[in-house]
Amino acid sequence: AQTVTQSQPEMSVQEAETVTLSCTYDTSESNYYLFWYKQPPSRQMILVIRQEAYKQQNATENRFSVNFQKAAKSFSLKISDSQLGDTAMYFCAFMKRMEGWNTGNQFYFGTGTSLTVIP
Amino acid sequence: SAVISQKPSRDICQRGTSLTIQCQVDSQVTMMFWYRQQPGQSLTLIATANQGSEATYESGFVIDKFPISRPNLTFSTLTVSNMSPEDSSIYLCSVGGQGLEQYFGPGTRLTVT
């Protein structure tokens, strides 16, 4: 079974500063993907960034980047130049790639980190 | 990306009743997923809904409690049956994207009194 652990229930950061959210996972799979999702108070889950396990290069999306350490099974999210709109719950997610055309992609979510950006 | 809508957005229901939640996607998708997010908790997969076949339920979830319909490639319903206060949660539907990410609906906030 896959598990995803986010050890920081709550974090805060000053506006314009940088913050790093941690995530570790446990799996015996070799073919998988990792995601960070953001859930603001509106409840809408929004994809922030994704990482394919077979890629060594860390993914980057504008102010968001990851530090993917496959051997350590670590997948942290760095938010640079934090903005007030970044205030949200952030979920780390693991996806096991299923074989067969009619099978779904199984997602496992961490317990989330509540991030508050302070003006 | 996929645009997903859910109805109702929220509801308050009495113990012992049932509520059916609708999920509509703006494009045809093979798989649709139903999640539960209990207060302050992460998302837990309830079941995977395939068009034209029975839904596949995760451990701890059964069809009698959470019957699912999938009549076509853009629509699904989840019913929460014989509700108790422990069923108070946000229920989200999602679909897979071509980039393997999942897109989520806005959720249905259910309160059982």
Q: What is the pLDDT of residues B17-30, one digit of tens each?
A: 999 999 999 988 88
| b/e sequence B26-51, b meaning 16+ C-beta within 10 Å | eeebebbbbbbbeeeebbbbbbbbbb
Q: What is the CA radius of gyration of chain A?
A: 14
Identify the pLDDT of residue A101.
44
pLDDT in tens, B97-110: 666 678 899 999 99
A5 close to B (CB below 8 A): no
Instruction: List A70's β-bridge partners, or say none.
Output: none
| Residue A105 in this model has a pLDDT that exceeds 80 | no
| Residue B1 in this model has a pLDDT that exceeds 80 | no
Identify the pLDDT of residue A98.
62
Structure-derived torsion over alpha carbons of residues A72, A73, A77, A78, reported in degrees to the nearest 10: 10
Identify the pLDDT of residue A96.
78
Q: How many CB pairs under 8 A join A and B?
A: 51
**Residue B93 distance to chain A (closest CA, Å):** 11
CA atoms of A22 and A16, how far apart (whole Å): 19
Identify the pLDDT of residue A87.
96
Please give the CATH superfamily to which domain A3-118 belongs: Immunoglobulins (2.60.40.10)
8 Å CB contact of A50 and B102: no
Computed over every residue of chain B, the mean pLDDT equals: 91
Among the partner residues A33, A104, A112, nearest to B33 by beta-carbon distance: A104
CA atoms of A1 and A28, how far apart (whole Å): 8
Identify the pLDDT of residue B98.
64
CA atoms of A25 and A47, how far apart (whole Å): 18
B102 by Cβ neighbours in 10 Å (0-12 / 13-18 / 19+) ranks as buried
8 Å CB contact of B96 and A45: no
* Mean pLDDT, range B48-72, rounded to an integer: 90
Domain ranges for chain A, please list them. Answer: 3-118
* Mean pLDDT, range A44-48, rounded to an integer: 89
Among the partner residues A50, A104, A111, nearest to B31 by beta-carbon distance: A104
Question: Which amino acid is present at B40?
Answer: G
Q: Which domains does chain B have, with CATH numbers?
A: 4-112 (2.60.40.10)
**Residue A53 distance to chain B (closest CA, Å):** 13
* Mean pLDDT, range A3-22, rounded to an integer: 96
Contacts of A116 (CB under 8 A, 6+ apart): A10, A11, A12, A13, A87
